[in-house]
Chains A and B, each alone.
Chain A
Amino acid sequence: MADELIAVFSYPFMQRALVVGILVSLCAALLGTSLVLKRYSMIGDGLSHVGYGAFAIAAAAGIAPLGFAIPVVIASAFLLLYITRKGKMGGDSAIAILSSSALAIGMIVLALNRVSIDINSYMFGSILALSEEDVVLSVICSVIVCVTFILLYHRIFAVTFDESFASATGIRTGVYNSFISVLTAVVIVVGMRLMGALLISSLMIFPSLSSMRVCKGFKSVTICSAVISVVCFTSGLIGSYFIDVPTGAGIVVVNLAVFLIFALVGKVKER
């Protein structure tokens, strides 16, 4: 078994997938708790479809995919925040409109330009999709997200727990909400190459939902979901390699299993 594992990770593409995947899962889990508690669970889903549209346009125009997609997705995250703020439209409806429009525009751009990119790999992810530059950019982004999150941790807690108290005590809630959105956007774009547009958002919310079944505090939930996320990613990656199924799908199934176990443990503890 150990020999087989060493053999698996002697492939450069597996090494890249492992490094980027662990970093992205860590970031996703950190942000996920806040998103779940703020009832923004679907924002990841919406943004990943925008990311898909942006990647399509970048492919058609022949420009750097990540360099183009990151700003576009950040802008959409701000747009969503603004729409929900103004209260004219519910957050869920805004996300639905944005994600289906972006998906549609992406498809049309691809069709018009007769570009053939592997749609499957964008929707469901591909561990082969990562180039050397992708890895460098992903590592930089993930480190920035992690460091920012740690520095803002207590304020993110305050803003997530009780926004009006936080702003009454002089915390600029708007600034921290924007931070959360921007960081989410970055994680989505970086992660969707590996995990796919359809699956990256579940990676953000599954670990938090699992740890919320059993943990009592915000800190314990945050730490627990980070651990769950990394463990699920690694075992999903290895498992999907051996039984030859799509990586993203494998990771989600592992997450689902963990969630069910934690839900059961939570139920038992309650009694």
Chain B
Amino acid sequence: MKLIECKDLCMKYEGVPAFENLSFSIDEGDFLCIVGENGSGKSTLVKGILGLKKYSSGSIEFGGVKPKEIGYLPQQTAAQKDFPATVREVVLSGCLNRNALFPFYTKENKARAKREIERMKIESIADKSYRDLSGGQQQRVLLARALCATEKLLLLDEPVSGLDPIVTSEMYEVIHELNHSGVTVIMVTHDIHNAVHYGSKILNMSKNDYFFGTSDEYITTESFRLMSRGCFHGEGGCFTHGR
């Protein structure tokens, strides 16, 4: 079943297009990786899907998922360094979309937050302050929050940027497992090798052109060669495609 279908999508900032004529779709159970150079419009597309920014033409259709049932992990959290909030408070805030106008958290909300905290293996830091966590721990917390908001579709904007290689691969494993358990995942990333390794589909955005297809198709394309070129010329054995 198609969860999201974008047709001829175009998004602009003050009349200047960030991207144009983009068409792609996401099926239930997919792991779609969005790659592309800086400024190619990946985050803009994410905002379009979430309804945070209006698109100027084309269409985005949702099937089986409502826009506010998407679990979102922003590229940069607006939260500042000194924000006092416990991990539990942050995770719980992901449940708010379930409560319509009811002002407080329900028993189910709390149970759900507890479950997601366990799933992300952050029980031991659940009462710590979010501001005192490491980057990788913070990402796990935000992922748990996103999972509170959805069981269908996760939209992750560069969840591994700034994480060390070990934590990065842990993150990929976590996301991979979530995908296995039935959560559809859309992830923006610059990590091209893990993208083709874990992703089932790839959307490669660039200034005037784009590629959309399975990751097996993608590794035969010129844009994949270009995107991973740095590595071919770099240290030997950097490119390991383990499929």
Contact = CB atoms under 8 A, between A and B. Distances in A.
A169 B105 CA distance: 15
B58 interface: no
B74 interface: yes
Interface residues of A, number: 30
Interface string B66-84: 0110101010011110111
Interface stretch (B91-99, B191-199, B206-214): B91-99
Contact of A162 (B47, B79, B103): B79
A166 B52 CA distance: 10
Interface stretch (A16-24, A184-192, A211-219): A211-219
Interface in A30-68: 37, 39
Contact of B52 (A168, A216, A217): A168
Q: Which of A150, A151, A164, A171 has the most CB of B within 10 A?
A: A164
Interface string B84-124: 11101110111011000001110000000000000000000
Interface in A132-162: 150-155, 157-158, 160-162
B84 A221 contact: yes
B155 to A, nearest CB: 8
A170 B72 contact: no
Nearest to A211: B84
B110 to A, nearest CB: 12
B85 A157 contact: yes
B85 A158 contact: no
A170 B72 CA distance: 12
A160 B47 CA distance: 19
B225 interface: no
A92 interface: no
Contact of B78 (A155, A157, A162, A221): A162
Contact of B82 (A155, A157, A212): A212
B51 interface: yes
B128 interface: yes
A165 interface: yes
Given A165-B74, A165-B94, A169-B68, 16 more contacts: A150-B103, A153-B103, A157-B85, A162-B77, A164-B47, A166-B96, A168-B50, A168-B52, A168-B72, A169-B149, A170-B68, A171-B96, A212-B82, A216-B129, A216-B132, A217-B88
Interface of B: 47, 50-52, 67-68, 70, 72, 74, 77-80, 82-86, 88-90, 92-94, 96-97, 103-105, 127-129, 132, 145-146, 149
Interface of A: 37, 39, 150-155, 157-158, 160-171, 212, 215-221
